[in-house]
Chain A
Amino acid sequence: MDQLTDVLTAISHPTRRAIIGQLANGPARFLDVAKPFDTALNAVTKHLKLLERAGLIERRKQGREVIISFRGEPLREVAGWVHEYERFWNERLDKFEQYFNEKKQNNEKKEKKR
């Protein structure tokens, strides 16, 4: 598989995104990474393997400990995949839709008051 697919797979799971969020604050020991999750340690290991395959984390040994750190570079490829205008028009139309939703809600409130 290509790296873009690996990165998209890696960030498609909420637990893996939470791990990235945690590691974005700085490197951590394996057990500290696993701590916030209710899942078994080997499930966390599987998530870490997918993140490593995507190049989003690095592991290094420090004595007995394994220290895991975040690498942001592969996310650039994902960012580049989303076209500037795709983002622009989505943001515009979200606002446009929101304007009409609020207008409809206000009209409904006025109707109820009558």
Chain B
Amino acid sequence: MNDPKKTIEVKVERTIPAPLAEVFDAWLNPKVPGNPWNMAEKLLLNPHVDGFFYWKIKDTPHYGRFTEVERPARIEHTWMSPSTSGLESTVTLTFEKQGEDTRMTLVHSGLPDTDGGRSHDKGWNYFLDLFPKQFADASRMEK
């Protein structure tokens, strides 16, 4: 067993071809594909400091509380799900101007480093899904 007190951090960055405020607003708009709210089966979202969200996907509830909402530069909220073992993890988004585009950085910290978090079975399927594409690429390279 891994030590449930040990936490890890996930960091993901993208450059989005749109101005800061547009990207910021799109992230909080459930109608825009790609933000987490868009894929909800049931959603209650109040994106203001001390506002809560309830987000259900595949019958799994997720909860959180917004701690910082500074348009258009920064959003921070907590995130609780079965994968966080009942602990409050933190999701921080920062938006920076990069020419005409927006550099977006998402950090999900305080994630318990447990087998649940690492989710072996899902990871397995993910890899199997990835492989056919890699094989196709590989066969092209060989020819």
Residue of A14, A86, A90, A96 near B16 (CB, 8 A) is A96
Residue of A15, A93, A100 near B18 (CB, 8 A) is A100
Quick one: which of A56-114 are within 8 Å of B by CB?
75-76, 78-87, 89-90, 92-101, 103-104
Q: How far is the CB of A95 from chain B (nearest CB, A)?
A: 4
Bound: A11/B132 CA distance, A = 13
Q: Taking the complex as formed, is B52 at the interface, i.e. its CB lies under 8 A from any CB of chain A? A: no
Residue of B34, B111, B117, B134 near A93 (CB, 8 A) is B34
Q: Which residues in A have their C-beta under 8 angstroms from that of B132?
A: 21
Establish whether residues B142 and A38, one from each chain, have CB atoms under 8 Å apart when the complex forms: yes
Establish whether residues A93 and B104, one from each chain, have CB atoms under 8 Å apart when the complex forms: yes
Chain B residue at minimal CB-CB distance from A98: B34
Total contacts A to B, CB within 8 angstroms? Answer: 114
Bound: A28/B83 CA distance, A = 41
Bound: A93/B106 CA distance, A = 9
Chain A residue at minimal CB-CB distance from B101: A100
Establish whether residues B12 and A99, one from each chain, have CB atoms under 8 Å apart when the complex forms: no
Q: Which residues in B have their C-beta under 8 angstroms from that of A24?
A: 131
When each residue 118-141 of chain B gets 1 if its CB lies under 8 Å from chain A and 0 otherwise, what string results? 111011101100011011011101
Establish whether residues A18 and B142, one from each chain, have CB atoms under 8 Å apart when the complex forms: yes
Question: Which residues does A use to contact B, with CB under 8 Å?
Answer: 14-15, 17-18, 20-21, 24, 36-38, 75-76, 78-87, 89-90, 92-101, 103-104
Residue of B12, B15, B16, B122 near A84 (CB, 8 A) is B122
Which secondary structure dominates where chain A touches chain B? helix
Establish whether residues B123 and A87, one from each chain, have CB atoms under 8 Å apart when the complex forms: yes
Bound: A30/B134 CA distance, A = 22
- With most chain A CB atoms within 10 A of its CB, the pick from B10, B126, B134 is B10
Question: Which residues does B use to contact A, with CB under 8 Å?
Answer: 8, 10, 12, 14-18, 23, 26-27, 32-36, 83, 104, 106, 108, 111, 115, 117-120, 122-124, 126-127, 131-132, 134-135, 137-139, 141-142
Residue of B104, B127, B134, B137 near A79 (CB, 8 A) is B127
26 interchain pairs (CB within 8 A)? A14-B137, A17-B134, A36-B139, A75-B124, A75-B127, A76-B120, A78-B127, A79-B126, A80-B115, A80-B118, A80-B123, A82-B123, A82-B127, A83-B111, A85-B10, A85-B117, A90-B12, A92-B36, A94-B14, A95-B34, A96-B27, A96-B34, A97-B34, A99-B33, A100-B16, A100-B18
Q: A89-B108, A100-B18 in contact; A84/B123 too (CB < 8 A)?
A: yes
